[in-house]
Amino acid sequence: MGVTLRSVWKTYKRTAVLQDVDLDLPTGKLVALLGPSGSGKTTLLRILAGLEVPDHGAVLFDGEDVTRRPPGVRRAGMVFQHYALFGHMTVFDNVAFGLRVLPLKNRPLPWEIDTKVRELIHRVRLDALESRYPSQLSGGQQQRVALARALAVDPRILLLDEPFAALDAKVRVELRRWLREFQRELGITTVFVTHDQEEATDIADLVVVVNQGRIEQVGSPSEIYERPASAFVFEFIGRSNVLPLNAREGKWAHDLLSRVLPDSVSSSETVRAYVRPHEIDVHRLRDRGTAVKAVVERVHPHGAVVRLVAREAGGEHRWEAEISRDRYEALKVNIGDTVYLEFRSVTIFTPHRKVVHSWTLDPVREEFQQPQRG
Amino acid sequence: MAGSHRSGTRAGRWLLIGVTVLFFAVFLFAPLVVVFSSALQKGFGYCLAALADPETVAAVRLTLLTTCIAVPVNTLFGLCAGWAIAKYEFPGKSLLKTVIALPFSVSPVIAGLMFVLVYGSGGWIGPWLEAHHIRVIFAVPGIILTTLFVTLPLAAHELIAVLEAQGREEEEAAWTLGATGRQIFCKITLPKIKWGLFYGVILSTARTMGEFGAVSVVSGHIRGLTNTLPLHIEVLYNQYDTVAAFSAATLLALIALATLAAKAALERRTERRRDRPAPAQATSGREEWTWA
């Protein structure tokens, strides 16, 4: 089922939590609502569920206006962050709940309910546990009960609030891959909320980046990473170095900017420039004028890559560079060594445009207008 | 060193236990024994005869009537207030939470006086009531109203605590699953709060039956008409009819003991539920994953 939000606004106690949100979610996709805490992503999910009603705007399910329809009627299955299982009911009764509260004329017969509940419990692999109480289950098991319970009413859309936040790291990765497969099998439009960019980019078809009640960007995980639409998205997705743009500490960056963007340097508070750690080359000797001289402070090996943290010589600014292990071994750098950092490309955001300045290719400028805000 | 330290602790332990037991004996156990022994000093038959006295029976009946009205009303109010405070946000919520405890902090005598000032013949709406021949003060309605006021926070306090602790996620989950308001209350909320509810009912029953101060002010002490059991006991005692007074008192003492027993049984039950051991699988950090 396709979901559309049309200029949705929501305010709590005079704070605008959502501001003019427009969103189109295609049928059958796994969508991540990604943003920092307090960005409004959970409110967005609760509006989709029908637990909150927007102050303005509309929620459409397959083109049908469901804005003011209560949650049960719009058939949105919800899995809560802390699962919200019914503590006084067994796993079986939890899953059967949605069927047992149906109006008598629509309610399946008891044996039909039994069959359906057993099948769902089997699908989420909890067969042996159907007569346990929620307090006797682990976090991952509770979550699968919550999932089966939500699916029992044949929801048109499945909504998950921070589904993996309460699990330990190892289970988290396994469970999210499993959810990915499970969602493909079901083919049901699924939206989950997360603050973890790795989680979002790992399993989602579509990532919706939310910040301060607005949508920053909607795109596939690779689009979000490779073509971030705003400084916020650039910083939020993946690692990045911020270039110091004040004339004193970041003189070379300031000079660079005045060459690339002569018109906006004067207002450097609104300009942000970044370098990804993997776009920094590390050399023992200076071979280009723009290289930054720095002293290695820490070395973190991470599998096939090594992360170096180096402090700019004569300054306080720290840079993180990511180089291959082969390169690291060829360089033979140790803590305290002086190195030269060369940037392959710098991404600059002004309030209205984005410029990528690259040294390895011909200095290419890729510019586009950012979406206009409010 | 270690030995002397340990013996010091032991001495302290016996001292504390001794003081506690002595305190219990003097202030709790002895009075209770006195109540029962005084009631029975002229024999069991005399005690029963004292209880069968028409005025005592009338007092018991009035106390029961008050209880039968005040406890359900307070419980219902407690549910409404608990629900409103725990589940909704509204202006003045914290003020309401404070004011709800007012009857706890006001002396019952003051509470009684407040009602006299409002409903009495010189009070705010007393003249209007008199003109319509409605008697509140020195009559049964006044007794019920003051009892309601004094015992109001008991059930509400208990239910607000339970409902607030529960949050509203489970109710929301039930809502997304299509349950109606009534289904949510009966199938989700009520099972969660039933012990808190029961506890609140027990407490307010005990307090309603034993209320003296506030009722004393508004009752007018009309024997056989507006004397509740505690007021009647005082009257009997002031007439030096000790056996009758203590016989009536045994009724209240028995109610108190029954309340205590019910409360203890309830607490043991909830503790057992909490301690129910979870299977090893659930407590181990790592789950069994067989997704192949």
* Spatial distance between the Cα atoms of A170 and B230, rounded to a whole number of angstroms: 66
CB spacing of B172 vs A80 below 8 angstroms: yes
Most confident of A280-289, A350-359, B166-175, B270-279: B166-175
Residues of B in contact with A102 (CB under 8 A): 178
DSSP B209: H
Residue B64, pLDDT > 50, answer yes
Candidates A74, A86, A149: best to mutate against B (most CBs of B within 10 A) is A86
Asked if A166 reaches chain B (Cβ–Cβ under 8 Å), the answer is no
- Residue A100 one-letter amino acid: R
Give the span between the Cα atoms of A366 and B66, in whole angstroms: 83
3-state secondary structure of B118: helix
Q: Is the minimum CB–CB distance between B88 and chain A shorter than 8 Å?
A: no
pLDDT for residue A222: 92
Helix, strand and coil percent figures for chain B, each rounded to 5: 80, 0, 20
Assign B272 a pLDDT band (cuts: 50, 70, 90).
low
Beta strands A3-12 and A157-161, pairing class: unpaired
What is the predicted pLDDT for the residue at A322? Answer: 92
Q: What is the pLDDT of residue B266?
A: 77
B192 in A contact zone (CB under 8 Å): yes
Residue A117 has pLDDT above 90, yes or no: yes
Global model pTM greater than 0.90: no
Say yes or no: domain B60-244 is CATH 1.10.3720.10: yes
Q: What is the least distance, in Å, from the CA of A317 to any CA of chain B?
A: 41
pLDDT at A152: 93
pLDDT tens digits for A216-274? 999 999 999 888 888 899 989 888 888 877 666 666 677 777 766 656 555 556 778 88
pLDDT digit string, tens, across residues B79-135: 888 888 887 888 888 888 888 888 888 888 888 888 888 888 777 888 888 888 888
Of B172, B178, B290, the CB nearest to A84: B172
CA distance, residue B190 to nearest chain A CA (Å): 11
pLDDT the model gives residue A290? 67
Within its chain, how far is the Cα of A67 from the centroid?
25
Mean pLDDT of A307-333: 89
Q: Give yes or no for B291 touching A (CB within 8 A).
A: yes
The Cα A356–Cα B4 span in angstroms is 79
For residues A335-358, give the mean pLDDT.
Answer: 81
Residue A124 in contact with partner chain B when CB distance is under 8 A: no
Q: Is A53 on the interface with B (CB under 8 A)?
A: no
Amino acid B280: pLDDT: 37
Residue ranges per structural domain of chain B:
60-244
Residues of A in contact with B170 (CB under 8 A): 84-87
A135 reaches B (C-beta below 8 A) = yes
Residues B267-271: contacts with CB under 8 Å, at least 24 apart:
B269/B195, B270/B195
Q: Is A123 on the interface with B (CB under 8 A)?
A: no
Of B175, B191, B285, the CB nearest to A72: B175
Please indicate whether residue B91 or residue A55 has the higher confidence score (pLDDT).
A55
Whether residue A370 is predicted with pLDDT greater than 60 in this model: the reply is: no
- B91 lies within 8 A of chain A by CB: no
Q: Write down the pLDDT at residue B5.
A: 53
Which chain B positions have a beta carbon within 8 Å of A73's beta carbon?
Answer: 178
| Whole-number percent of chain A with pLDDT over 70 | 88
Q: Which residue of A has its CA nearest to B178?
A: A72
- Which residues contact residue B288 at a Cβ distance below 8 angstroms, ignoring those fewer than 6 apart? B281
Decide if B282 touches A, using CB distance below 8 A: yes
Tokens of A344: 């392959």
Residues of B in contact with A71 (CB under 8 A): 172, 175-176, 178
ipTM of the complex: 0.81
Q: What does the H/E/C string look like for A143-161?
A: HHHHHHHHHCCCCCEEEEE
Place of tokens 């914290």: B94
CA of residue B228 relative to chain centroid, distance: 17
Percent of chain B with pLDDT strictly greater than 90: 16
Residues of B in contact with A84 (CB under 8 A): 169-170, 172-173
Distance between CA atoms of residues A138 and A123, nearest Å: 18
Residue type, A58: A
Segment A67-87, tens digit of pLDDT: 999 888 888 999 999 999 999
User: Which pLDDT band, with edges at 50, 70 and 90, does A206 fall under?
Assistant: very high
Answer whether residue B154 shows pLDDT above 80: yes
For residue A30, pLDDT over 70 is answered with yes
Mark yes or no for CB contact A137/B282 under 8 Å.
Answer: yes
Q: What is the token pair recorded at A45? A: 């999910």
Q: What is the pLDDT of residue A268?
A: 54
CB contact under 8 A, A149 and B170: no
A50 in contact with chain B, both atoms CB, cutoff 8 A? yes
Range with the poorest average pLDDT among A107-116, A244-253, B109-118, B282-291: B282-291
Nearby residues of B165 by Cβ (< 8 Å), 6 or more positions away? none
Please state, in angstroms and rounded to a whole number, the distance separating the CA atoms of residues A256 and A234. Answer: 20
Q: What is the predicted pLDDT for the residue at A263?
A: 61
pLDDT confidence band for B270 (50 / 70 / 90): low
CB contact under 8 A, B192 and A138: no
Kindly state whether A143 is in contact with chain B, defined as any CB-CB distance less than 8 angstroms: no
Considering Cα of B190, then B192, then B195, then B197, what sign does the dihedral take?
Answer: negative
Residue B267 above 80 pLDDT? no
pLDDT at A310: 92
Separation CA B215–CA B144 (nearest Å): 8
Tally C-beta pairs within 8 A across A and B.
87
- The whole-number average pLDDT for the span A14-19 is 88
What mean pLDDT value characterizes chain A? Answer: 86
Contact status of A302 with chain B (Cβ, < 8 Å): no
Under the banding of pLDDT at 50, 70 and 90, the label for residue B38 is: confident
Which of A47-51, A268-272, B39-43, B132-136 is modeled with the greatest confidence?
A47-51
- State how far residue A87 is from chain B, nearest Cα, in angstroms: 8
